[in-house]
């Protein structure tokens, strides 16, 4: 389990246990959602967000556009409220402040926050989990704050 202890002030046992409402044969990792809008876009990778949002948002400044516009374009637009009754959301990478990993899918995986520039450390780890055939989900019932 990976957890961001400096922000998770409302961890709830019942919500945590919702991760086990699903057969462990169906998932390699369960990641958290939030009580407000989903905030962790930097760690998110799916069919829509298949890029490093902060890399894009800061690179747009080079084109004489403000950072606020870059954040709106590449980050805020994806920070949506996920209702707790929404089905599991399959992703290639996510974190959301807390993630539970099955040990059999993390072989050879490591956290690294740098390639040619600073990157979200969860992305290479999660992409390794998916290469190891572990499916990653955002669990809307597993909300943290």
Q: Which domain holds residue 106?
A: 13-18+26-144
Number of C-beta neighbours around residue 20 at 10 A:
10
Structure confidence at residue 99 (pLDDT): 96
Res 65: pLDDT: 65
Confirm whether 136 is domain-assigned: yes
Residue 35, pLDDT score:
84
pLDDT tens profile 1-43:
888 877 766 778 999 999 999 999 999 999 999 888 888 878 8
In a domain, 6, yes or no: no
Q: Does a structural domain hold residue 98?
A: yes
Q: pLDDT at position 16, please?
A: 94
Query: Is there a domain that residue 128 lies in?
Result: yes
Q: Provide the residue count of the chain.
A: 145
Note the Cα 37 to chain centre separation in Å: 13
pLDDT of 45-86, one tens digit each?
988 878 776 666 666 665 556 666 666 666 666 667 789 999
In a domain, 33, yes or no: yes
127, part of any domain: yes
Structurally, the chain folds into a number of domains equal to 1
Residue 4 lies in a domain: no
């Amino acid at each position: 389990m990976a957890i961001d202890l400096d922000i998770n002030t409302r961890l709830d046992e019942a919500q945590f246990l919702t991760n086990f409402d699903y057969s462990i044969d169906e998932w390699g990792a369960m990641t958290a959602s939030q009580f407000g809008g989903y905030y962790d876009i930097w760690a998110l990778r799916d069919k829509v967000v298949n890029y490093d949002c902060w890399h894009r948002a800061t690179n747009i400044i080079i084109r004489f556009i403000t950072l606020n516009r870059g954040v709106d374009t590449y980050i805020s637009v994806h920070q949506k409220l996920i209702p707790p009754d929404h089905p599991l959301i399959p992703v290639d990478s996510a974190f959301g402040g807390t993630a539970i990993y099955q040990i059999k899918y993390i072989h050879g995986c490591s956290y690294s926050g740098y390639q040619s520039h600073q990157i979200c450390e969860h992305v290479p780890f999660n992409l390794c989990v998916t290469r190891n055939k572990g499916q990653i989900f955002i669990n809307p019932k597993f909300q943290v704050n």
